[in-house]
Chain A
Amino acid sequence: MTVYYSEDHEWIEVEGDLGTVGITDYAQGQLGDITFVDLPQEGAKVAKGDSVAVVDSVKAASDVYTPVSGEVAEINEALADEPELVNSDAEVGGWLFRVTLSDPSELEELMDEAAYKKFVAGL
């Protein structure tokens, strides 16, 4: 099980061909209090870089881009009633959706935790 990070501040935890996607703790901190999360349809085919979800906060509405291509396998339904999970637990309980990877080689373009930490420190 490995976690990868994108420059758009998404994380993806991969187990087999299933990836769980969310926004990073750094991203939720920048957005402020999350008020609503718009998630993709289960079964939707998505391509790496597509805007597939929207996170609304008191400051802004921000697109979430899928870091990999594939098919949406599951969404985090708890967020409908508790969008604040993205604030309190961004990288575990505040996950957004799960995607069945169609091209695992896309993961090679993402960062590992150390590289992402360095990337954020440079912002």
Chain B
Amino acid sequence: MSGVNTAGWRPSMNSAEGGVSVPETQSGDHALMLEEPLIFELGCEGQTGVDFDAPAKAVSPALAKFRRKAAPAVPGLSEPEAVRHYTRLSRQNYGIDLGPFPLGSCTMKHNPRLNEKMARLPGFADVHPLQPQKTVEGALEVIEQLADWLITLTGMASVAMSPKAGAHGELCGLLCIRAALDARGETRDVVLVPESAHGTNPATAAFAGFKVETIPATPEGRVDLAALKAKLGPDVAGVMITNPNTCGLFEPEMKAIADAVHAAGGYVYCDGANFNAIVGRVRPGDLGVDAMHINLHKTFSTPHGGGGPGAGPVVLSEALAPYAPLPFVARGEDGHVHLVEEENRGEGHARAFGRMVAFHGQMGMFTRALAYILSHGADGLKQVAEDAVLNANYVLRSLEDVLQAPFGKSGPCMHEALFSDAGLPEGFTTLDIAKGLIDEGFHPMTVYFPLVVKGAMLIEPTETESKPGLDRFIASMRNLAQRAREEDASLHSAPHFAPRRRLDETRAARKPVLVWKADARA
């Protein structure tokens, strides 16, 4: 790299470089490369970071038998020791703020700091769901404006804002479908799920009480329309399709699929996890979708696992909107937004199937998502999709000569590029490439998913990455593929430079040790 200080130390220099032999450190740590024990192994017994008052009153004799016989087994750390422990651990962690996070289907995009600034405004951060409505009109306005954007971007009739996450949204959509079928007096118990769908789809359908039937993928990695049509009938409640699908491909026959399902009396659920590839370009409502969840933590840049429940709003067609769960936020004739609950639901929500959560959703996620949408604008969101797709295609075409791309001939990919370990020498696997990527300083891609591809490597760069950033990632991937082709056995034991070497995942799954025990310390 040009522009860096070529005279200074770099991680690639070993201690003997420059003719100086350096002894091992006394602590075993290497400057900022720190070994960190478990919190129970730190501090000393009896120490505490909290200064408790002595009890004001003697303990009642009736409670004496509950008196502790031994001190609780909690770590004895002072506050600075506890802070340092977690900060030191965090240095061994990899996050989107450290570098590319190419987990396919997860859309690990940058979380803009503007979102955080907005979410921390006290009028959003400090509200309580039981506050009088007139004291939280601003918060309700945010929910309403976000709902408006989601309806507009998807071309749908309505949106249920309360579901807490993607799979929760899927359940919401299927319960709407069930309620609509009940209203028609029909019992349909089969949900069709293509092989290229997300793994949560069949799980959701089974959880909602439906029988799952699989639709095979075509050799091009798309839904087999003829096979789907052959399964349609009076027992089919609907289909759950992921579009763009988990092979990273758009389903161009989506409209034909939806028309066929509708003609057979079923409904179309679309998994919106991959909406980032089409936001601003395609409206799912135009494709005949009846319900689709939107992962705010994917397309709309709220943090993954960001401090509490997530948000998975579900957009709904005219056919399913009446059955959406309460509560709703709605604008009244006076121009003010208010909550629609059981007691004031009126005609519009008389057929709501119930409710899925106690309150209205995750305010912190709503605020961040709206901040993202407003700061990008309609044109910016369209560019998000275009750049995400462009980046994925750049990765696909830059690696397909060294790694097998099973659907590379199916045309351009969407938001993610899919590779297979099928072309690597015997014994060299996707796991070796993924672990090698840790040594290269990157988070691994999604591995062994989707299942339709042998040794799948699913790479989703998102629009976050610049071309120089992608080039560094591609150079590392090419290097790893080359090492595998040359049968470099050291790949089998990668990572070599991470805080831990390759972990025994099989033993961890078969004999998990989840609880620290004092006698295990030795």
Interface-lining segment among A15-23, A56-64, A92-100, A105-113: A56-64
Contact bitstring B292-320, A, C-beta under 8 A = 1, else 0:
00000000000000000000000000000
B448 A35 Cβ-Cβ under 8 A: no
A36 B509 Cβ-Cβ under 8 A: yes
Contact bitstring B505-522, A, C-beta under 8 A = 1, else 0:
110011000000000000
Whether B350 sits at the interface, judged by CB under 8 Å, is no
Whether B42 sits at the interface, judged by CB under 8 Å, is no
A56 B448 Cβ-Cβ under 8 A: no
B510 A60 Cβ-Cβ under 8 A: no
Residues in A whose Cβ lies below 8 Å from that of B449: 60
Interface size counted on chain B using CB atoms at 8 A: 7
Residues in A whose Cβ lies below 8 Å from that of B451: 60
Q: How far is the CB of A30 from chain B (nearest CB, A)?
A: 8
Q: For the complex, what is the distance from the CA of A60 to the CA of B510, rounded to whole Å? A: 14
Q: For the complex, what is the distance from the CA of A110 to the CA of B451, rounded to whole Å? A: 25
Whether A67 sits at the interface, judged by CB under 8 Å, is no
Q: How far is the CB of B34 from chain A (nearest CB, A)?
A: 29
Task: Determine the residue in chain B with the shortest Cβ distance to A84.
Answer: B510
Contact bitstring A39-66, B, C-beta under 8 A = 1, else 0:
0000000000000000010111000000
A60 B448 Cβ-Cβ under 8 A: yes
- The dominant DSSP class at the A interface is loop
List residues of A (59-99) whose CB comes within 8 Å of B's CBs: 59-60, 83-84
Most chain A CB neighbours (cut-off 10 Å) among B448, B449, B510: B510
Q: For the complex, what is the distance from the CA of A28 to the CA of B353, rounded to whole Å? A: 44
Residues in A whose Cβ lies below 8 Å from that of B506: 33, 35, 58
Q: For the complex, what is the distance from the CA of A33 to the CA of B448, rounded to whole Å? A: 14
Q: For the complex, what is the distance from the CA of A78 to the CA of B145, rounded to whole Å? A: 58
Q: For the complex, what is the distance from the CA of A31 to the CA of B451, rounded to whole Å? A: 11
Q: How far is the CB of A81 from chain B (nearest CB, A)?
A: 9
Residues in B whose Cβ lies below 8 Å from that of A33: 505-506, 509
Interface size counted on chain A using CB atoms at 8 A: 9
Most chain B CB neighbours (cut-off 10 Å) among A35, A56, A60: A35
List residues of B (436-464) whose CB comes within 8 Å of A's CBs: 448-449, 451
**Pick from A36, A59, A83, A84: contact of B448, CB under 8 Å:** A59
Q: For the complex, what is the distance from the CA of A60 to the CA of B199, rounded to whole Å? A: 11
Q: How far is the CB of B345 from chain A (nearest CB, A)?
A: 40
Residues in A whose Cβ lies below 8 Å from that of B505: 33, 58
Q: For the complex, what is the distance from the CA of A60 to the CA of B505, rounded to whole Å? A: 13
Q: For the complex, what is the distance from the CA of A43 to the CA of B505, rounded to whole Å? A: 34
Residues in B whose Cβ lies below 8 Å from that of A56: 509
Q: For the complex, what is the distance from the CA of A36 to the CA of B505, rounded to whole Å? A: 13
Residues in B whose Cβ lies below 8 Å from that of A36: 509-510
Q: How far is the CB of A32 from chain B (nearest CB, A)?
A: 8
Q: For the complex, what is the distance from the CA of A56 to the CA of B448, rounded to whole Å? A: 13
Q: How far is the CB of B205 from chain A (nearest CB, A)?
A: 13
Residues in B whose Cβ lies below 8 Å from that of A59: 448
Q: How far is the CB of A74 from chain B (nearest CB, A)?
A: 23
List residues of B (376-413) whose CB comes within 8 Å of A's CBs: none
Contact bitstring B101-136, A, C-beta under 8 A = 1, else 0:
000000000000000000000000000000000000
Task: Determine the residue in chain A with the shortest Cβ distance to B449.
Answer: A60
Q: How far is the CB of B446 from chain A (nearest CB, A)?
A: 12
Q: For the complex, what is the distance from the CA of A83 to the CA of B448, rounded to whole Å? A: 21
Q: How far is the CB of A31 from chain B (nearest CB, A)?
A: 10
Q: How far is the CB of B504 from chain A (nearest CB, A)?
A: 10
Q: For the complex, what is the distance from the CA of A33 to the CA of B505, rounded to whole Å? A: 9
Task: Determine the residue in chain B with the shortest Cβ distance to A81.
Answer: B510
Q: For the complex, what is the distance from the CA of A58 to the CA of B507, rounded to whole Å? A: 10
Task: Determine the residue in chain B with the shortest Cβ distance to A61.
Answer: B199
Residues in B whose Cβ lies below 8 Å from that of A60: 448-449, 451
Q: How far is the CB of B421 from chain A (nearest CB, A)?
A: 12
Q: For the complex, what is the distance from the CA of A60 to the CA of B509, rounded to whole Å? A: 12
Q: How far is the CB of A29 from chain B (nearest CB, A)?
A: 12
List residues of B (478-522) whose CB comes within 8 Å of A's CBs: 505-506, 509-510
Q: For the complex, what is the distance from the CA of A36 to the CA of B511, rounded to whole Å? A: 10
Q: How far is the CB of A73 from chain B (nearest CB, A)?
A: 25
Residues in B whose Cβ lies below 8 Å from that of A83: 510
Q: How far is the CB of B521 from chain A (nearest CB, A)?
A: 26
Task: Determine the residue in chain B with the shortest Cβ distance to A35.
Answer: B509
A–B Cβ pairs within 8 angstroms, 18 of them: A33-B505, A33-B506, A33-B509, A35-B506, A35-B509, A35-B510, A36-B509, A36-B510, A56-B509, A58-B505, A58-B506, A58-B509, A59-B448, A60-B448, A60-B449, A60-B451, A83-B510, A84-B510
The chain A residues found within 8 Å of chain B, CB to CB, are 33, 35-36, 56, 58-60, 83-84
> What are the 4 tightest A-B residue pairs by CB atom distance, in nearest-first order?
A35-B509, A33-B506, A59-B448, A35-B510
Seed contacts A33-B509, A60-B449; 15 additional CB < 8 Å A-B pairs: A33-B505, A33-B506, A35-B506, A35-B510, A36-B509, A36-B510, A56-B509, A58-B505, A58-B506, A58-B509, A59-B448, A60-B448, A60-B451, A83-B510, A84-B510
